[in-house]
Chain A
Amino acid sequence: MFDKYLIVDGTLRNLGPATAPTGFAFDAKLGYYRGLGLSMIEDLTISIDGVAVPRTAVRFDEGPGPLTLDEMETAYDRRWAFGATATIGVEYPGGFPSGRHQLSLTERLRVSYLPFPSINSDSKTLEVRK
């Protein structure tokens, strides 16, 4: 649901010193028609050109401060609101590869009334603006 809107256009940027980036970040939305508590975001898989980065390299922040995906599992008092952007940070030495590359995001959500997880994916070919 809302798949093609998950990665927000124009938000990809590198993190850390410009000469030696430590990773990259982008803004994302939740692929669901309502907000959801962070403990029910089971996984956020980020891939570059089809190669997934390690789960431990991913940080999520809807505002109050970044969490690892493991920390999100017990963040019972935080929510990702409907239509709201959150920052997804990725530890990736050197930053996002130069030039245009395919960035993919898959959100796996634990939706209580569904018998299976809700899986939503977006892929966009992007580059970090100089």
Chain B
Amino acid sequence: MTKSTIKRGVSLYSFQEEMFLGRMGIEDCVAFASSIGAKGIEILPEQNMPTFPRIDDAQIDWWRNLMAKHGTELTCYDMFLDTKLRKDRLMTDEEQVESIRRDLTLCNRLGIRNMRMLVFIRPDILAKCVPYAEELDVHMGVEVHAPWHLEHAWILRTIEEADRLGTKHLGILPDMGIFVKHYPPVYRARFERQGARPEVTQFIVDQHEQKVMAEYTIYEVAVKMRGNKAEVAMAETLRHSPYANPKRIREYIPYFRHIQAKFYEMNADCTDPSIAYDEVIGALARGGWDGYLSSEYEGNRWIQDVQEVDSREQVRRQHVMFDRLITGGESI
């Protein structure tokens, strides 16, 4: 077991079900994270700050005091960019840069040094924001989110832009949804509830298990098997369920400081049925990476139609797994 200095954190995204329903507030989420040793808190201001973008100094103080009270720190600011704000036209380049500068300013006021950049933002727009990010010492990490992956040409353009500028303030931010080794059981179960036949869902799972390229399976299901709506929709999720090579992440360590630890479901024995965390964390540890693995539970949308969502229990199980993979299980 490789000992490592990888840190454990949680994105407030993980508790969206309970927050949406008013069953947990921000402080409940932070207190829970701290109680399981997840000391890094990632926030989505557009989710977690109801008055966004108007945030006064009293609100900033509230967040800082909240972190101090629970022994936590803010790790990452998830920004958004409403290029389609207007119905009649896209934002101009100048408007996009101005919107990103607004977020960089708020990120800095909160004392946060990592910003998750949406993957669709153009690399040349990001380049225009680099001087301000450098001034504020905020790392802009482009989210490497499925169906993109580490070596997708669009992602490589950001890497090239960072190299060209010689900056440490532009790079990537991997989302672990690029390492789907096994098809998520919660996906399959929901499609079956929507009318997908078990023999067809088994075929799709088998195809994913063999890493058959998505387009072959989609054609098989849609045309040859005359798949119904749920079956075709399930086959189409294969496009968004890539298994990138975990060994390759180590080479990109110079370009990222934070990871969104996406997951859809944890087993009762604190193992992940889908995402290859054992392989990824091993590669990160061997590379000496010391950033935060920030839980991003996204299972609620797959089960909320039939059962109560317990985001806390899911996050807790993931952190038992992290602790096992990072320290050999000494902390929890």
Contact = CB atoms under 8 A, between A and B. Distances in A.
Interface of A: 1-5, 29, 33-35, 37, 39-40, 42, 73, 76, 79, 81-84, 110-113
Interface in B236-281: none
Interface in B1-38: 13, 16, 19-22
Given A3-B305, A76-B86, A113-B119, 10 more contacts: A5-B20, A29-B20, A35-B46, A35-B50, A40-B82, A40-B84, A40-B85, A79-B52, A82-B19, A113-B118
B176 to A, nearest CB: 18
A4 B81 CA distance: 27
B304 A112 contact: no
Contacts, number: 64
A3 B84 CA distance: 23
Contacts of A39: 85-87
A34 B85 contact: no
A112 B83 contact: yes
Interface residues of B, number: 26
Contacts of A111: 84
Among B80, B81, B118, which residue has the most Cβ atoms of chain A within 10 A? Answer: B80
A81 B16 CA distance: 13
B46 A73 contact: no
Interface in B59-91: 80-87
Contacts of A1: 301
Instruction: Specify the main secondary structure of chain A where it touches its partner.
Output: loop
B13 A4 contact: no
Contacts of B46: 34-35, 82
Contacts of A110: 84, 87
Given A39-B86, A112-B120, A113-B118, A83 B20 contact: yes
26 contacts: A1-B301, A2-B20, A2-B301, A33-B13, A33-B20, A33-B47, A34-B47, A35-B46, A35-B47, A35-B50, A35-B52, A40-B82, A40-B84, A42-B87, A73-B87, A76-B85, A76-B86, A81-B50, A82-B46, A82-B48, A83-B21, A83-B22, A110-B87, A112-B82, A112-B85, A113-B118
Nearest to B19: A83
B44 interface: yes
Contacts of B80: 34, 112-113
A110 B52 CA distance: 18
A110 B119 CA distance: 17
